[in-house]
């Protein structure tokens, strides 16, 4: 509860501080203070000390897993603010408002991670989505940004409608919004409603995490939005929706194996295929990362598909590995003028440290051992193997992982092996230190993932 | 403790190398590091320190995986080979200079740590970890310091092996869930009882990974290009050591885990290997570039070893074991000669060379010995190995032995032709400028020549060393 409250309040604080603080650069500082407050609040959540100790008639549940997941998100948020905070100021004249919106998103993430009632899930998803529509269009003078925002808004609203309808169907079948009620088998006559409800919610959530075939908005929106917000949307937001996705299926439909699992398997395979294959053909690194985020979503879908202890650990690790690596890459990307692959040519000569960090992050995204990405992929795949069925899906996924090596390594090749000038970048020493921290975390989790996972059992 | 040292010394040494500034210091430092591993390994062998050959530490208890290292006969042999080859590689390429030498030598040492780890790992997940880890430095080495087409070629190599590895990972995961105690340890995995159907598809998941690495026909297409484009020091690592990873993995993991499937598919594997032997030999005959010639001849030799591993009799297995070592030494010798020729004359084309024997008699004598070992002449180490392997193949099926045996003749043809074209005949304007090799280069070749003769005349120590591995595998089949 702390996290939800603090982030909502801090969002308002940010808006008001915009009125009183004239210097744009102070926005980053205020945001940083807020995010640290979030971290502390969440820590108290984990140890059971809450500002308002109420679960609102069972509409929220304080699971350790959800809270731990939020910790990862907050840590990623802190890293995001540290690495990209300056760029937020460059987007437009209202940095305080942008950060306020980001805090509102975090509040929504809190609801999604802890919901125990479909309505809370719905409200959480909407609280996450609406600020994003605005952030996408925040570069007001850029036509692409406007178009992206409109597109995102229209399609997002549509998926919201579908989700509501799904919830209505589920309510019709079971007479309740509570997850434990949904666990019970409905009467024979209502089984169809149940199934339709599940599929509709699945579709809506698949849209939000940009899983195929509901991914079409992703490249355009990610490309159109100011890069610094793309970074936020592709990482923290995506992970936040996934936790909702997993919670819903684990706590509400987990016992109803069968039909929905097949559907998830098909969505997973499609997502992996489309994300990876299309990413291969991209010329712009930003668009490549948009498609790669689709591909990564495919791997995260495995946790929804498998639903066991391994899957939960896997999603936790995946969120950490993916968020940190992607935020690191985007932080560098924003500093560059040329977003094509050629823009990276010869970067290793000019900026050896940046190139090294990028390499570590890219290796992690590709899932190469010694990086966090390897164990992230390992866990989600192991979770799927553990179910004992659908082994073809796992084999398909690893082949797709090999495809992903192609586009991730294109950047490494450009940086190290191709001749080029390397772009001028305004990179300060603290920024370099932060980048190094990202790389260190990625490697640390890659050698010893228990560091994070032990938290699941301790506390 | 030796087991741990063999990984730690090159790992830490390699990381330190990145921070050494001067080229001469980098070379000296990495040479010393590689010597330290050799000394550690030799001391272990001479002292018969069995306790030092295993090591266990906690790593990922929640996954049932531990940092377990263990040397049995085959892995002792290969660890020794790795420890022996590295100083020789560094010594023989002493004169070559590379851009940013600290990264080059650092990566070389990291590759050594990875390769040694593969030979030592007694835990499935750890094995996979090292398997990939050996690949990453080599990827950077080839892509950065290689020939003109290096980027595309190395990338192909990387993708091939990466797909193979990932398939193996899926198989490994599946095996893991079948173990009684949810553990990746080698003993638990060995103890898994699988149905024939499970074995048959798990076999292929693992085999493809290993076959790409070896490489066995038709998974070999990355090999000649990569060997050709890599800087020679890296080619040495690739062909003398990395391909052994594939063969070793068959011995340590594939055969003990899936004995029934190995019997079921032995004809397929041996058939492919024999086709590969002939095919590669014929291609080798048509090469003008010596590096490509050796690359193809290497496919032929590896093919024979791959076949011998599946014949399921003692002489085949024993031959393959000894050949693991011999091939490493011999092919390293060939690369050294090529490196020396290329550095002196700037070409590797047979058509542009000739008459070297008059200018460089020392080099010629050493090369001829190495080349004859490569052809498996009696008294040389490869003769012992090839004789046993063909013997094993013969017992398995006469036809395979007969067809495979053709590769011996072909091998003699292309090797002798190469000697003749490069070293004999008339000098030309290019080769007239040549001079003989210095003592340093002679010394590194001399070590190899000594190894060739010692093992050719007295292979008993190697047999004794690898008996336990052979017994283990034959035991599994019975």
Query: Do B170 and A381 make contact, defined as CB atoms within 8 angstroms?
Result: yes
- Using the Cβ of B446 and the Cβ atoms of chain A, whether some distance falls under 8 Å is answered with no
Q: Taking CB atoms and an 8 Å cut-off, how many pairs form between chains A and B?
A: 69
In terms of C-beta density within 10 A (0-12 exposed, 13-18 middle, 19 or more buried), how is residue A389 classed? middle
HSE at residue B77, side-chain half, CA atoms within 13 A, is 32
List the domain boundaries for chain B. 1-257, 264-477
Mean pLDDT on A68-73: 91
Q: Quick one: what percent of chain A has pLDDT higher than 70?
A: 97
Q: For residue A409, what is the nearest residue in chain B, using CA coordinates?
A: B155
Q: What are the tens digits of pLDDT across the range B1-19?
A: 888 888 999 999 999 998 9
pLDDT band at A128 (very low <50, low <70, confident <90, very high): very high
Count the residues in chain A.
459
- A405 within a domain of the structure (yes/no): yes
In terms of C-beta density within 10 A (0-12 exposed, 13-18 middle, 19 or more buried), how is residue A3 classed? buried
Backbone angles phi, psi at A86, to 5 degrees: -60, -35
Give the model's pLDDT for residue A257: 54
Q: For residue A386, what is the nearest residue in chain B, using CA coordinates?
A: B177
The continuous run of DSSP H or E covering B55 comes out as strand B54-60
For residue A457, pLDDT beyond 70:
no
Mean pLDDT on B125-138: 90
pLDDT band at A51 (very low <50, low <70, confident <90, very high): confident
Total number of domains constituting chain A: 1
Q: For residue B160, what is the nearest residue in chain A, using CA coordinates?
A: A402
CB A284 within 8 A of CB A340: yes
Tokens linked to B134: 């050996």
Give the model's pLDDT for residue A304: 87
- Using the Cβ of A267 and the Cβ atoms of chain B, whether some distance falls under 8 Å is answered with no
Q: Quick one: what percent of chain A has pLDDT higher than 90?
A: 42
Best B142, B154, B173, B231 member to test A by mutation, with max A CBs in 10 Å, is B173
- Cα–Cα distance, A291 to A283 (Å, whole number): 12
pLDDT averaged over chain A? 88
Query: Do A417 and B150 make contact, defined as CB atoms within 8 angstroms?
Result: yes
In terms of C-beta density within 10 A (0-12 exposed, 13-18 middle, 19 or more buried), how is residue B435 classed? exposed
Query: Do B166 and A370 make contact, defined as CB atoms within 8 angstroms?
Result: no
Closest CA to B45 of B464, B478, B473: B464
Q: What are the tens digits of pLDDT across the range A345-368?
A: 888 888 888 899 999 999 999 988
pTM, full prediction: 0.91
pLDDT band at A426 (very low <50, low <70, confident <90, very high): confident
Residues of A in contact with B205 (CB under 8 A): 395
Give the model's pLDDT for residue A112: 93
For residue A452, pLDDT beyond 80:
no
Q: Quick one: what percent of chain B has pLDDT higher than 90?
A: 12
E strand spans, A184-298? none
Which residues, 6+ apart, have CB-to-CB distance to B117 below 8 Å? B7, B69, B126, B129, B130, B133, B134
Give the model's pLDDT for residue A241: 92
Q: For residue B148, what is the nearest residue in chain A, using CA coordinates?
A: A417
- Using the Cβ of A418 and the Cβ atoms of chain B, whether some distance falls under 8 Å is answered with yes
Q: What are the tens digits of pLDDT across the range B194-220?
A: 888 888 888 999 999 899 888 888 888
Backbone angles phi, psi at B55, to 5 degrees: -160, 135
- A144 within a domain of the structure (yes/no): no
Which residues, 6+ apart, have CB-to-CB distance to A381 below 8 Å? A299, A302, A394, A397, A398, B169, B170, B173
- Cα–Cα distance, A35 to A458 (Å, whole number): 24
Query: Do B170 and A398 make contact, defined as CB atoms within 8 angstroms?
Result: yes
Expressed as residue numbers, the domain containing A341 is 259-458
DSSP of B425-465, one letter per residue?
Answer: S---TTGGG-----HHHHHHHHHHHHHHHHHHH--HHHHHH
The number of beta carbons lying within 10 Å of the beta carbon of residue B257 is 23
Give the model's pLDDT for residue A256: 62
- A94 within a domain of the structure (yes/no): no
Residues of B in contact with A394 (CB under 8 A): 170, 173
Query: Do B62 and A453 make contact, defined as CB atoms within 8 angstroms?
Result: yes
Residues of B in contact with A381 (CB under 8 A): 169-170, 173
CA dist B264 → B200, B267, B305, B380 (Å): 8, 8, 19, 35
Which residues, 6+ apart, have CB-to-CB distance to B211 below 8 Å? B164, B219, B246, B306
Backbone angles phi, psi at B97, to 5 degrees: -125, 145
CB A422 within 8 A of CB A347: yes
- A62 within a domain of the structure (yes/no): no
Which of A385, A409, A449 lies nearest to residue B173, judging by beta carbons? A385
Tokens 């076949």 correspond to B307
CB B111 within 8 A of CB B132: no
Nearest-CA distance B31 → chain A (Å) = 26
- Cα–Cα distance, B254 to A24 (Å, whole number): 63
Which residues, 6+ apart, have CB-to-CB distance to B324 below 8 Å? B74, B77, B78, B81, B244, B247, B248, B305
3-state secondary structure of A25: coil
For residue B400, pLDDT beyond 80:
yes
Q: What are the tens digits of pLDDT across the range B259-294?
A: 888 888 888 999 999 999 999 999 988 888 888 888
- Cα–Cα distance, B419 to B426 (Å, whole number): 13
The number of beta carbons lying within 10 Å of the beta carbon of residue B146 is 20
Q: For residue A419, what is the nearest residue in chain B, using CA coordinates?
A: B144
Nearest-CA distance A433 → chain B (Å) = 18
- A353 within a domain of the structure (yes/no): yes
Query: Do B143 and A394 make contact, defined as CB atoms within 8 angstroms?
Result: no
310-369 of A, contacting B, C-beta below 8 A: 363, 368-369
- Using the Cβ of A405 and the Cβ atoms of chain B, whether some distance falls under 8 Å is answered with yes
Query: Do A385 and B155 make contact, defined as CB atoms within 8 angstroms?
Result: no
Best A364, A417, A452 member to test B by mutation, with max B CBs in 10 Å, is A417
- Using the Cβ of B158 and the Cβ atoms of chain A, whether some distance falls under 8 Å is answered with yes
Q: Pairing between strand B54-60 and B65-70?
A: antiparallel
First to last CA, chain A: 17
Nearest-CA distance A395 → chain B (Å) = 7
For residue B381, pLDDT beyond 70:
yes
Query: Do B133 and A370 make contact, defined as CB atoms within 8 angstroms?
Result: yes
- Cα–Cα distance, A385 to A392 (Å, whole number): 10
- A192 within a domain of the structure (yes/no): no
- A307 within a domain of the structure (yes/no): yes
CA B121: distance to chain centroid? 17
């Amino acid at each position: 509860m702390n996290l939800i409250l603090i982030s909502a309040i801090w969002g308002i604080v940010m808006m008001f501080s915009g009125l009183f603080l004239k210097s744009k650069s102070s926005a980053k500082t205020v945001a940083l203070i807020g995010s640290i407050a979030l971290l502390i609040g969440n820590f108290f959540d984990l140890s059971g000390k809450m500002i308002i100790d109420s679960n609102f008639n069972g509409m929220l549940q304080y699971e350790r897993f959800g809270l731990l997941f939020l910790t990862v998100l907050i840590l990623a948020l802190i890293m995001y603010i540290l690495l990209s905070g300056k760029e937020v100021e460059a987007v437009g004249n209202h940095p305080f408002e942008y950060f306020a919106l980001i805090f509102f998103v975090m509040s929504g993430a809190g609801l999604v991670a802890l919901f125990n009632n479909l309505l809370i899930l719905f409200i959480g998803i909407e609280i996450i989505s609406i600020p994003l529509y605005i952030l996408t269009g925040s570069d007001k003078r850029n036509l692409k940004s406007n178009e992206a925002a409109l597109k995102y808004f229209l399609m997002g609203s549509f998926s919201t409608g579908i989700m509501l309808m799904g919830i209505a169907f589920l309510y019709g079948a079971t007479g309740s919004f509570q997850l434990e009620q949904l666990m019970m088998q409905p009467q024979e006559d209502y089984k169809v409603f149940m199934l339709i409800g599940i599929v509709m919610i699945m579709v809506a959530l698949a849209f939000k995490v940009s899983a195929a075939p509901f991914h079409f908005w992703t490249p355009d929106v990610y490309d159109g939005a100011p890069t610094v917000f793309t970074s936020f949307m592709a990482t923290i937001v995506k992970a936040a929706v996934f936790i909702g996705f997993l919670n819903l299926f684990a706590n509400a439909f987990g016992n109803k194996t069968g039909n929905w699992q097949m559907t998830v398997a098909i969505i997973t395979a499609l997502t992996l295929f489309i994300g990876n294959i299309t990413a291969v053909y991209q010329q712009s690194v930003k668009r490549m990362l948009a498609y790669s985020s689709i591909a990564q979503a495919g791997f995260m879908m495995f946790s929804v598909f498998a639903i066991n202890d391994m899957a939960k650990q896997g999603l936790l690790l995946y969120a950490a590995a993916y968020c940190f690596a992607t935020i690191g890459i985007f932080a560098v990307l924003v500093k560059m003028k040329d977003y094509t692959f050629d823009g990276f040519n010869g970067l290793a000569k000019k900026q050896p440290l940046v190139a090294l960090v990028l390499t570590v992050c890219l290796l992690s995204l590709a899932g190469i051992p010694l990086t966090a990405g390897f164990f992230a992929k390992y866990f989600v795949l192991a979770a799927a193997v553990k179910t004992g069925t659908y082994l073809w899906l796992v084999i398909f996924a690893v082949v797709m992982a090999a495809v992903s090596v192609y586009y991730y390594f294109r950047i490494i090749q450009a940086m190290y092996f191709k001749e080029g000038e390397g772009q001028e970048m305004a990179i300060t020493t603290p920024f370099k230190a932060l980048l190094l921290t990202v790389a260190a975390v990625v490697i640390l989790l890659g050698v010893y993932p228990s560091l994070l996972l032990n938290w699941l059992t301790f506390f | 403790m030796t087991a741990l040292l063999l990984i730690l010394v090159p790992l830490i040494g390699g990381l330190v190398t990145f921070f050494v500034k001067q080229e001469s210091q980098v070379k000296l430092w990495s040479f010393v590091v590689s010597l330290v591993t050799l000394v550690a390994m030799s001391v272990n062998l001479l002292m018969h320190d069995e306790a030092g050959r295993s090591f266990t530490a906690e790593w990922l208890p929640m996954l049932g995986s531990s940092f377990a290292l263990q040397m049995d006969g085959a892995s002792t042999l290969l660890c020794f080979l790795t420890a022996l080859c590295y100083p020789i590689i560094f010594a023989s390429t002493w004169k070559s200079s590379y851009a940013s030498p600290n990264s080059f030598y650092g990566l070389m040492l990291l590759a050594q740590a990875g390769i040694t780890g593969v030979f030592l790992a007694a835990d499935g997940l750890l094995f996979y970890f090292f398997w990939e880890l050996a690949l990453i430095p080599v990827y950077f080495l080839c892509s950065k310091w290689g020939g003109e087409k290096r980027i595309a070629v190395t990338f192909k190599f990387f993708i091939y092996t990466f797909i193979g590895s990932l398939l193996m990972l899926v198989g490994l995961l599946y095996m893991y869930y079948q173990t009684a105690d949810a553990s990746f340890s080698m003993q638990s995995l060995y103890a898994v009882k699988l149905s024939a159907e499970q074995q048959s598809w798990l076999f292929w998941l693992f085999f493809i990974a290993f076959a790409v690495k070896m490489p066995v026909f038709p998974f070999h297409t990355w090999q000649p290009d990569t060997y050709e484009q890599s800087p020679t020091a890296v080619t040495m690592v690739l062909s003398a050591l990395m391909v052994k990873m594939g063969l070793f993995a068959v011995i340590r993991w594939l055969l003990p885990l899936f004995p029934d499937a190995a019997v079921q598919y032995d004809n397929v594997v041996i058939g492919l290997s024999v086709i590969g032997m002939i095919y590669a030999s014929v291609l080798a005959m048509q090469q003008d570039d010596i590096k490509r010639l050796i690359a193809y001849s290497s496919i032929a030799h590896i093919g024979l070893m791959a076949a011998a591993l599946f014949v399921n009799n003692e002489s085949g297995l024993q031959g393959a074991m000894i050949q693991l070592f011999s091939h490493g030494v011999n092919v390293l010798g060939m690369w050294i000669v090529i490196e020396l020729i290329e550095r002196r004359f700037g070409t590797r084309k047979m058509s542009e060379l000739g008459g070297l024997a008059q200018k460089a008699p020392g080099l010629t004598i050493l090369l001829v010995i190495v080349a004859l070992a490569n052809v498996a002449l009696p008294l040389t180490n490869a003769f012992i190995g090839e004789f046993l392997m063909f013997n094993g193949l013969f017992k398995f099926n006469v036809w395979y032995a007969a067809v495979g045996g053709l590769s011996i003749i072909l091998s003699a043809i292309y090797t002798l032709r190469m000697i003749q074209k490069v070293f004999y005949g008339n000098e030309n304007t290019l080769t007239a400028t040549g001079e003989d090799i210095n003592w340093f280069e002679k010394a590194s070749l001399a070590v190899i020549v000594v190894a060739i003769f010692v093992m050719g005349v007295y292979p008993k120590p190697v047999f004794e060393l690898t008996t336990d591995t052979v017994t283990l595998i034959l035991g599994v089949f019975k």
